[in-house]
Amino acid sequence: MKSTEYNYDIVRSFVNWSVLWGLVAVLVGVIVSFQMVDPRLNFPPYLTFGRLRPIHTNAGIYGWGVGVIFATFIYMVQRLCRTPLWSPKLARFQLWFFNATIIASAVTLLMGYTTSKEYHEMEWPIDVMVVILWVVFALNIIMTIIKRREEHMYISLWYMMASLVGVAILYLVNAAAVPVSLFKSYSAFAGTNDANVHWWFGHNAVAMALTAPPLAMFYYFLPKSTGVPIYSHRLSIIAFWSLLFMYLWTGAHHLLWTPVPDWIQTLAMGFSVMLIAPSWGSVINGYLSMNGQWHQMRENYLVKYLILGITFYGLQTIQGPMQAIRTFSAFIHYTDWVPAHIHMGTMGWVSMICFASIYYLVPRIYGKKLFSIPLANLQFWLILVGQLTWSFSLWIAGVLQAGMWTAMNPDGSLTYTFMETMVEMYPYWWIRSIGGLIYFVGVVVFIYNLVMTVRHGEIASTEAAAEGRA
């Protein structure tokens, strides 16, 4: 079947917009990080840390993350099913509705219309928009799968479908609220129940939006980039089903030592540790797929991104379960260690995979050779160094902070006041901001490279572009 029948127009649009929202997410992140070191950078009422930080996180998750999910899923589903997209019109609607949703989110969050629930701050009218968006998207993907011309469904399709149902269930339940007005609602759940429902959502949004989709991309783009298949099909089956089953039990590890019933906390702790197995199932499957191909780490920038990405996934899924253990959580929770952990996942694992996927896609969907591989390599080092600077500074800060919070004098009193511990954070927060800036420069290089590819890239047929790895 000729690739010309595939619908690449819509993939292009989603790539372009998601990259723009990604830039916004990183830029706002850098701004709020400077607000933390100097409060004079807050400009009330709109531009304060309290209102901007949700814009950073939601632009990252829904603008960049979900935007790339839309782009890559629509590309992968057509290739893996050997059939054009079920409804290009619906996809076009989805694109504009997606952008409308992101813009509406940003504006309402700036105005202070927020539910306060982390990663789900948008008020109920935007929840309705997100639900419509997801239903339209899921319908298009599932219908394309149903009318596929390739009987066997590849691993990536499993993860895609799991993500489609998972996100739907999580988002709907956690959005339950009673509206007071167009811009204000109260949660349908109260207190401890609300906390438990919310962190079931919070943690599994990470599973269904920021783990399953990047794994779908990894399982597709790694073999495509290296030219050799995934090492073990059986391992990927075990990893898939056990990941899907175990993730949902673990939300309460965000609530250790809170009034949430102990047995829920204990289950969350146990399942979090068990999750190491399916997570590392995918990591090891990725590594073993590189047997005899490790030289490609040197020759093929795509492989470098993908393998570093899956490595950060491996580190993330060791560190996460460690934090989910009561004793360690008692020490580290609520400190700056936690954002360091999250940013290894988002800047390291998820974004590395997204960058690789887009680098793979752009030459093929535009029919042009990548403008500059050296620039792609430069970006790799910028985002790697930026992210490591970011995370290491706050890991150190978090341990210091935790140590000072718990330090006690021989007479049983606390050694430090809260302000004494906060003052110690400032140097680390500065280093973090510098890390963020380096990462931001990396993203700018990325966008420059893409723009130059589209504008001035050497024209090539998609087949030839596909050969143009090196």
Partner 1 sequence: MWEKKPILLLLLATAAILVGTIITVVLPFAWVNTEADRIETVTPYTALQQEGRDIYIREGCNNCHTQTVRPLVAEVLRYGDYSKSGEFVYDRPFLWGSKRTGPDLARLGGKYPDAWHYKHMASPRAMVPKTNMPDYGWLSANQLDPTMIKRKMDVLGFPYTSDELYSLADKNEMDALVAYMQKLGSDIPWRNAAATTIVGNLKNPYADSDHSTLEEWEPLYEENCEACHGEHFEGDIGPELDGASMEDTELFEIIYNGVPDNGMPPFAGLGADKVWQVVTFVKYYNQGEDH
Subset of residues 140 to 199 that bind partner 1, contact rule: CB under 8 A: 142, 145-146, 151-153, 157-158, 161-162, 164-166, 169, 173, 178, 180-181, 184, 186-187, 189-198
* Residue 234 engages partner 1 in binding (rule: CB under 8 A): no
* Residue 348 engages partner 1 in binding (rule: CB under 8 A): no
Tokens of 377: 């390599």
Is the backbone peptide bond immediately before 278 cis, with ω within 30 degrees of 0? no
Q: How far is the CB of 100 from partner 1 (least distance, A)?
A: 23
In whole angstroms, what is the distance from residue 346 CA to residue 443 CA?
14
Using an 8 Å Cβ cutoff, are 217 and 210 in contact? no
Which residues in 355-374 contact partner 1 (CB under 8 A)? none
* Residue 344 engages partner 1 in binding (rule: CB under 8 A): no
Nearer to partner 1, 127 or 355 (CB): 127
Residue of the chain from 87, 99, 258, 372 that contacts partner 1 (CB under 8 A)? 258
Residue of the chain from 137, 254, 281, 310 that contacts partner 1 (CB under 8 A)? 254
Residue of the chain from 330, 381, 455, 461 that contacts partner 1 (CB under 8 A)? 330
Tokens of 213: 């989709």
Nearer to partner 1, 309 or 339 (CB): 339
Nearer to partner 1, 45 or 227 (CB): 45
* Residue 266 engages partner 1 in binding (rule: CB under 8 A): no
Nearer to partner 1, 288 or 408 (CB): 408
* Residue 318 engages partner 1 in binding (rule: CB under 8 A): no
In whole angstroms, what is the distance from residue 269 CA to residue 58 CA?
27
In whole angstroms, what is the distance from residue 388 CA to residue 401 CA?
19
DSSP 183-232: TEEEESS-HHHHHHHHHHHHHHHHHHHHTHHHHHHHHHHHHHHHSS--S-
Place of tokens 């004079």: 40
Residue of the chain from 245, 299, 455, 461 that contacts partner 1 (CB under 8 A)? 245
Which residues in 117-136 contact partner 1 (CB under 8 A)? 117-118
Which string of x and - marks every residue 394-423 that binds partner 1 (by CB under 8 A)?
Answer: -----------xxxxx-xxxx--xxxx-xx
Nearer to partner 1, 100 or 408 (CB): 408
Alpha helices in 259-300 (DSSP H): 262-274, 276-288, 296-299
Residue of the chain from 227, 229, 259, 427 that contacts partner 1 (CB under 8 A)? 259
* Residue 248 engages partner 1 in binding (rule: CB under 8 A): yes
Q: How far is the CB of 83 from partner 1 (least distance, A)?
A: 13
In whole angstroms, what is the distance from residue 175 CA to residue 122 CA?
9
Question: Could you give the 3-state DSSP secondary structure of residue 185?
Answer: strand
* Residue 200 engages partner 1 in binding (rule: CB under 8 A): yes
Total residues in contact with partner 1, by rule CB under 8 A: 95
Which residues in 47-106 contact partner 1 (CB under 8 A)? 48-51, 53-54
Using an 8 Å Cβ cutoff, are 268 and 251 in contact? yes
Q: Name the residue type at position 428.
A: Y
* Residue 346 engages partner 1 in binding (rule: CB under 8 A): no
Between strands 177-181 and 184-187, the pairing is antiparallel
In whole angstroms, what is the distance from residue 439 CA to residue 267 CA?
37
What is the chain's length?
A: 470
Q: Pick from 33, 55, 58, 117: which is nearest to 397 by CA? A: 33
* Residue 112 engages partner 1 in binding (rule: CB under 8 A): yes
Question: What are residue 47's phi and psi, to 5 degrees?
Answer: -100, 60
Question: Could you give the 3-state DSSP secondary structure of residue 123?
Answer: coil
Residues 6+ apart with CB under 8 A from 211: 243, 247, 313
Q: How far is the CB of 188 from partner 1 (least distance, A)?
A: 8
Residues 6+ apart with CB under 8 A from 423: none
Determine how many CB atoms are found less than 10 A away from the CB of residue 371. 21
Instruction: Round to the nearest angstrom and report the end-to-end CA distance of the chain.
Output: 26
Which residues in 10-39 contact partner 1 (CB under 8 A)? 35-39
* Residue 436 engages partner 1 in binding (rule: CB under 8 A): no
* Residue 241 engages partner 1 in binding (rule: CB under 8 A): yes
Q: Is 261 left (phi over 0), alpha (psi -120 to 50) or beta?
A: beta
* Residue 277 engages partner 1 in binding (rule: CB under 8 A): no
Nearer to partner 1, 51 or 469 (CB): 51
Q: CB under 8 A: which stretch of 86-94, 265-273, 346-354, 436-444 binds partner 1?
A: 265-273
* Residue 107 engages partner 1 in binding (rule: CB under 8 A): no
Q: Name the residue type at position 463.
A: E
* Residue 45 engages partner 1 in binding (rule: CB under 8 A): yes
Q: CB under 8 A: which stretch of 6-14, 138-146, 303-311, 350-358 binds partner 1?
A: 138-146
